[in-house]
Amino acid sequence: MDITTIITQIFLPISLAIIMFGMGLTLVVGDFGRLFTYPKAVIVGLCNQLIFLPLIGFSIILLFDLSSSMAIGIMILALCPGGPTSNLITQVARGNIGLSVTLTALASLITVFTIPIILSKAITYFTGETGVVIELPIVQTMLQILVITVIPVSIGMVIRKKNEGFALRMEKPMRTASTVLFVIIFLLVMIANKDLIVEAMKEVGLATLLLNLSTMALGYITARAFRIKGKSQISITIESGIQNGTLAFVIATTILNNVEMGLPTGAYSIWMFITGGILMWRLGVSK
C-alpha cells in the first residue's frame, strides 16, 4: 500500500469523521428542525449545488475553450457539490453547521442519481461518443456518507444531549483541532499528488480558480437575494463554492479510468484549500 492510498483511503476518512464528531458536539436536534420548518435556506443551497453549479462549470468550459478531457473534468467537479471539507470550513468559519450538514447529506444522496445522467450527456457533447454508461456505486456512496458524516455527527449530538457542559467546553478545542487537521490534510494531499497538481495548474489553473470563486460568489449573492443572513449565509456561500474533490477524482480516475480527466480536481484542490483557509481565518480563527 503506497503513501497516496494510505492518505486517501485511511487517514482522510478518519480525520473527516473526527471533524464531523466535533461538529456534532455543537449541534442539537432543533438545529435541523428549524431548517425544515423554514426551508428557504435549504432550497436555495440545493438549487445552487444541483442546478447553477453545472451551468457555471459549462460556461467556464466554453469561455476557456478547453479540450474534451479538461472539459469533462470540469463538469465532473461541477456535478460533485459539498463534501465533509465544506462542513469543516463551515464549522471553523462559524457558519450554520446544521444547514451545512443537511445540504451535504441531501446533495450527496441526490447526486448519486443525477451525476450518471448529466455526465453521460456531457461526455457525448464534448467527445461525440454515444452509449457511455456511468455507474456510481450507490450503496457504497451512501455507506460512505453514513460512516464519515451522519454517524459521527449523531454521536456528537448524543454526547451534547447527555453532557452539555462537556460539549460546550470542547467546542473551542475541537475548532482548533479541526483547523490543524485541515492544514495537515492540505499538506498531505499536496505531497501525495505533487506531480499531478503541477501539471494540473498548467492546464486548468485559471479555469478552476474561476470555478471556485464564481460559485462562492453565487452562494453569497443568492443568499443575500433571498434575505438569508448571518451564519446561514456563510454556510450557503461555502457549500456552493467548495466541491467534493475526492468523489470527483474517483469518478475521473476509477470509474472513467482517465487520469487526465482528474487534472482539474488536482488544480481545484489547491484553490479550495486556499480560499477555504482564508474564510476560516477571517471568520473563525481571527475572531
Inter-CA distances, 101 with 151, 181, 224, Å: 12, 18, 21
**Which conformational region is residue 235 in: left (phi greater than 0), alpha (psi within -120 to 50 degrees), or beta?**
alpha
CATH number, domain containing residue 10: 1.20.1530.20
**50 lies in some domain:** yes
Report the half-sphere exposure of 127 (CA within 13 A, side-chain side): 17
- Residue 220 domain boundaries: 3-281
SS3 of 68-126: HHHHHHHHHHHCCECCHHHHHHHHHCCCCHHHHHHHHHHHHHHHHHHHHHHHHHHHHHH
**24 lies in some domain:** yes
Type of residue at 170: M
pLDDT digits (tens, 9 = 90+) for 21-40: 887 887 788 777 777 777 99
Query: Any idea which residue has 451522519 for its cell?
Result: 150
This prediction's pTM: 0.79
Number of domains composing the chain: 1
Contacts of 146 (CB under 8 A, 6+ apart): none
pLDDT digits (tens, 9 = 90+) for 142-165: 676 677 777 888 898 899 889 988
**82 lies in some domain:** yes
**286 lies in some domain:** no
| Residue 287 confidence (pLDDT) above 60 | no
SS3 105: helix
**287 lies in some domain:** no
Position with higher pLDDT, 274 vs 286: 274
Q: Which of 106, 108, 50, 102 is nearest to 83 (CA)?
A: 108
Write out the three cell numbers for 115: 451525476
pLDDT band at 46 (very low <50, low <70, confident <90, very high): very high
Give 71: exposed, middle or buried? Use CB within 10 Å, 0-12, 13-18, 19+. buried
Calculate mean pLDDT across residues 67-71. Answer: 92
**47 lies in some domain:** yes
SS3 60: helix
- Is 49 in contact with 109 (CB distance < 8 Å)? no
Q: Averaging pLDDT over each range in 15-24, 55-64, 254-263, which range is the top one?
A: 55-64
